[in-house]
Amino acid sequence: MEETDMCYPTPTVRAVQQAIPNGCSAKALGPSQRLTLGVHALAADRTVVDLADEYDVSRKFVYQQAATARDALQEAFASPEVAEDQVLFHLPVTKAWLRQATLGLTLICHSSFRGVHEFWRDLLDFKMSIGTVHNILRDAVATARPHNLRQNLANIVHAALDELFQSRRPVLVGADVASTYCFLLSLEDHRDAETWGVRLLELKERGFAPQATIADFGTGIRAGQELALPGTPCRGDVFHVLQEITPLVTYLENRAYDALAACHRLDQKKAKKTRHGRPALEVGQKLRHARPAETQAVALADDIALLAHWLHYDILAVSGLAYADRCALFDFIVTELKAREQFCPHRIGPVRKLLENQADKILAFADQLDRDLTALAKEFQVPVDMVRELLNLQALDQRHPQRWQKQVPLRQKLRDRFHSLSEAVQDLADHTVRASSVIENFNSRLRPYFFLRRQLGPDYLVLLQFFLNHRRFLRSEHPERVDKSPAELLTGESHPHWLEMLGYTRFSRN
């Protein structure tokens, strides 16, 4: 019997189906054939119509077998449900693990010392005093300090400087713009030129020699840098300028709306008294004074808003506008503000003085951008106006119709140099530093730690600086920063986990 089966070929699908008395093709398929049909339908290597014709079944039946196969795959690869009281893994709790967990709670979770004490008490039934928490962090400082001091700072091209205050004491902060590496976090008694100069000289011994720094308009920072790093330009922070003028626009707009509302209320009151046959002389007199004030408030708000828009999106933008033209427009903005200062001196006056006194520092980035565009034009042997035009083109939104209309003649002029020059211009625009936004972002990361402790000690800042520099980013708008620490971005070299750098062995379930 076995030899007979081997001698004769297996009957085809269609032959088996024809042998079924009731003529139902689907019932003729065995489990293996149904499986093969479902797999082919899921794989989509053949159309449903071809599979239905081959197996002499309906398309609906093919879809049913595909759904059955899909359900079986999902069930096979679904994660098994775990009971609430099932033990997932065992954790060996040692003194070393308690210490690194305390560091994690304090630095990662922003927990206070009392919060750590409560966590161990409530979750692990373990008593850890607040003094022990303090000692754990203090002991970690001795290991963290050498890592902070041995870091070479020669790779810093643009540095951002700023000052924070905690309990009325200044904290001097410095960070690399490109990598966000914090190279300075120092609690001081003063923030004068001498203090800044000493700290910058200490950084200079570690290779700190940036091409330029970016800071606000504090006199201590700039005077200290002039003492320690003579010849290094300190650009004005565009962010602080916009933060000064934006509230001015908002204040004047609100005042204009208040003037409009006051006139509207007086109009309603006048109409109501007139309907009742009573004179409205008093209301009319108020209206005669209110209408000119309304007109003046609306005009002033519109003018200042327009000047602020020009300043933000034209003069201080990364564009091909020449430095000389920016200076002329900047002077025009200052002149127009001065002409309207009499209408709101307590608000317009400080903004006008800031722009007038710090014009060179605010536009310092544009001067450097001009030199870079000229160098780029010389490298590609094209007119500098063409490079400026290409920079303006890249500033337009890709959905803007003028972008593609202006790109066609540029492509025709540049020919095979268009793509390479476009990449160079885009790279130049990306690396043009106008503001110390990175330091403001870093300050926002420091604030939660400062909030937990009224009194900051120098040792605590040493540990905090180490942690923020060696903790890897979980997410970022820049893909190249994900899963990398500021120290790795600065040096281009990887390092162990920050807990391992402090001498601990991290727990692993494997």
Where does a domain end: 410, 430, 450? 430
Is residue 162 in some structural domain? yes
Residue 506 forms part of a structural domain: no
Domain boundary among 77, 93, 119: 77
Largest CA distance in the chain: 123
Q: Give the CATH number for residue 216.
A: 3.30.420.10
> Along the 510 residues of the chain, how does pLDDT read in single tens digits?
344 343 334 444 454 445 444 557 777 788 888 888 888 888 888 888 888 888 888 888 889 888 988 888 887 777 666 677 788 888 889 999 999 999 999 999 999 999 999 999 999 999 999 999 999 999 999 999 999 999 999 999 999 999 998 888 899 999 999 999 999 999 999 999 999 999 999 999 999 999 999 999 889 999 999 999 999 999 999 988 998 999 999 999 999 999 999 888 888 887 776 655 555 677 778 888 888 989 999 999 999 999 999 999 999 999 999 999 999 999 999 999 999 999 999 999 999 999 999 999 999 999 999 999 999 999 999 999 999 999 998 888 878 778 888 888 888 888 888 999 999 999 999 889 988 888 888 888 888 888 877 666 788 899 999 999 999 999 888 888 899 999 999 999 999 999 999 999 998 886
For residue 395, give both structure tokens. 């500033």
Which three-class secondary structure string do you get for 183-225?
A: EEEEECCCCCHHHHHHHHHHHHCCCCCCCEEEECCCHHHHHHH
* Rounded Cα distance, 163 and 184, in Å: 11
Residues 212 and 156 in one domain: yes
**Are 452 and 110 a contacting pair, CB within 8 Å?**
yes
H or E stretch covering 249: helix 238-275
Whether residue 369 is contained in a domain is answered as no
Residue 260 sits in the same domain as residue 331:
yes
216/180 same-domain check: yes
Pairing relation of β-strands 212-215 and 182-187?
Answer: unpaired
Do the domain assignments include residue 123?
A: no
Are 65 and 21 members of one domain? yes
Whether residue 61 lies inside any domain: the answer is yes
* Domain stop point among 430, 449, 464: 430
- 481 in any annotated domain: yes
- Is 423 exposed, middle or buried (CB count within 10 Å of its CB: 0-12, 13-18, 19+)? exposed
Question: How big is the CA angle at 462 (ends 457 and 466), to the nearest 5 degrees?
Answer: 150
Same domain, 420 and 449: no
Which tokens in the block code for residue 200?
Answer: 């910058």
Instruction: Read off the amino acid at residue 461.
Output: L
In a domain, 352, yes or no: yes
- CA dihedral for 474, 475, 479, 480, sign (positive or negative): negative
In terms of Cα–Cα distance, which of 250, 348, 351, 256 is closest to 299? 256
Same domain, 387 and 313: no
Token pair belonging to 295: 């007109």
Least Cα distance to 392 among 431, 362, 429 occurs for: 429
Name the residue range of residue 69's domain.
2-77
Both 280 and 314 in one domain: the answer is yes
| Cβ neighbours of 125 (radius 10 Å) | 7
Number of domains in the chain: 4
pTM above 0.85, yes or no: no
Q: Which of 139, 106, 138 is CA-nearest to residue 120? A: 106
Helix (H, G, I), strand (E, B) or coil at 27: helix
Indicate whether 252 and 295 sit together in one domain.
yes
Count of other CB atoms within 10 angstroms of residue 371: 10
Q: Answer yes or no: do 329 and 392 share one domain.
A: no
Strand order in the sheet with 158-166: 182-187, 169-176, 158-166, 212-215, 234-236
426 and 444, same domain (yes or no): no
Task: Answer whether 28's CB lies under 8 Å from 14's CB.
Answer: no
Residue 486: inside a domain: yes
Whether 222 and 252 map to the same domain: the answer is no
Residue 434 Cα distances to 159, 245, 246, 364, 475, angstroms: 12, 16, 17, 8, 24
Examine the domain organization and report whether 248 and 283 are in the same domain: yes
